[in-house]
Chain A
Amino acid sequence: MQIKSRISNGTLYVLLCGELDEHTANYTKLTLDELFSKPNFQKIVIDLSELAFMDSTGIGVLIGRYKKMKDKNIPIYICNPSSHAEKIFKMTGLYEIMPKIV
């Protein structure tokens, strides 16, 4: 897993590259928490265009980050999910808390 980020116009853009499963979950959690702890953005967009695989462990990681950012009133959005990731998001209702944007 490789995580790239940039801040533009008050939005933190995060690109997840690789596979998100139990093996990479901890690194992903720690890296996202560190990025999300910075004070200079009001919105987060997680770009999944480079995510090659994800299972329900990834859902747990995302829900955990949502809970943390909800307390700070910072919304998280998902963009460019694969059709497979989309299937899991719809099954688990993730889009209800992290809406998809284009």
Chain B
Amino acid sequence: MKYSNFMEVTFKALSINEGFARVCVASFCVQLNPSVDEITDIKTAVSEAVTNCVVHAYPNAIKGDITLRCELEDDVITITVIDKGVGIKDVEKAREPFYTSKPGEDRSGMGFTVMESFMDEVEVTSNSFGTTVKMTKKIVNTMSEVRC
């Protein structure tokens, strides 16, 4: 039988919630017994996706929500970060290394590149009603006996 589990949390698009999102996902992933490196990779990818929402999704003073969804299917974790913001005009361009839409703000433009490097797959869908980033990673270090 397939092992599966699921969690979802919604929080305001504020930078203070980035640490919360990282810890939340890391805590949920622990049931797959990942290595420290795998957990750090996942935390970093989540941090990048949530940062994009915080910085870009809601340019007006009133900040909207970010939904963070984690699904486990056997040894694969799927993380989805969803905002209902203004969307990304050119997703392909945004995914290019060192591209930033805010060049005057000391931004590296490496957010998507980091996500792509640390996760196995990264899928971005965006329109004028929001952006969804879906990332998957297979946990190699899995020990099935920790699931109970």
Interface residues of A (CB under 8 A from B): 19, 21-23, 25, 29, 53, 55-57, 59-61, 63-64, 83-84, 88, 91-92
Are the CB atoms of A63 and B22 closer together than 8 Å? Answer: no
Q: Please name all residues of chain A whose beta carbon is closer than 8 Å to the beta carbon of B40 when the two chains form the complex.
A: 84
Q: Please name all residues of chain A whose beta carbon is closer than 8 Å to the beta carbon of B59 when the two chains form the complex.
A: none
Per the bound structure, the CA–CA distance linking A84 and B144 in Å amounts to 26
Main SS class of interface, B: helix
Per the bound structure, the CA–CA distance linking A92 and B117 in Å amounts to 11
Additional A-B contacts beyond A23-B19, A55-B51, A59-B110 (6; CB < 8 A): A21-B19, A53-B47, A55-B114, A56-B114, A60-B108, A63-B108
Main SS class of interface, A: helix
Q: Does B78 contact A (CB under 8 A)?
A: no
Give residues 39-58 of B contacting A (CB, 8 Å): 40-41, 43-44, 47-48, 51, 54-55
Q: How far is the CB of B107 from chain A (nearest CB, A)?
A: 4
- Mask, B97-116, CB within 8 Å of A = 1, is 00000000111111101100
Q: Which of B22, B37, B108, B113 contacts A53 (CB 8 A)?
A: B22
Per the bound structure, the CA–CA distance linking A57 and B44 in Å amounts to 11
Q: Bin chain B's interface residue count.
A: 20 to 34
Are the CB atoms of A92 and B108 closer together than 8 Å? Answer: yes
Q: Which of A53, A56, A64, A92 contacts B43 (CB 8 A)?
A: A53
Are the CB atoms of A91 and B117 closer together than 8 Å? Answer: yes
Evaluate whether A64 and B106 lie within 8 angstroms (CB atoms) in the complex, with A21-B47, A22-B15, A53-B22 already known: yes
What residue in chain A is nearest B39 (Cβ atoms)? A84
Q: Please name all residues of chain A whose beta carbon is closer than 8 Å to the beta carbon of B43 when the two chains form the complex.
A: 53
Q: Please name all residues of chain B whose beta carbon is closer than 8 Å to the beta carbon of A57 when the two chains form the complex.
A: 51, 107-108
Q: How far is the CB of B29 from chain A (nearest CB, A)?
A: 15
Per the bound structure, the CA–CA distance linking A84 and B48 in Å amounts to 14
Q: How far is the CB of A67 from chain B (nearest CB, A)?
A: 8
Evaluate whether A23 and B108 lie within 8 angstroms (CB atoms) in the complex, with A55-B114, A84-B40 already known: no
Q: Please name all residues of chain A whose beta carbon is closer than 8 Å to the beta carbon of B146 when the two chains form the complex.
A: none
Per the bound structure, the CA–CA distance linking A81 and B11 in Å amounts to 31
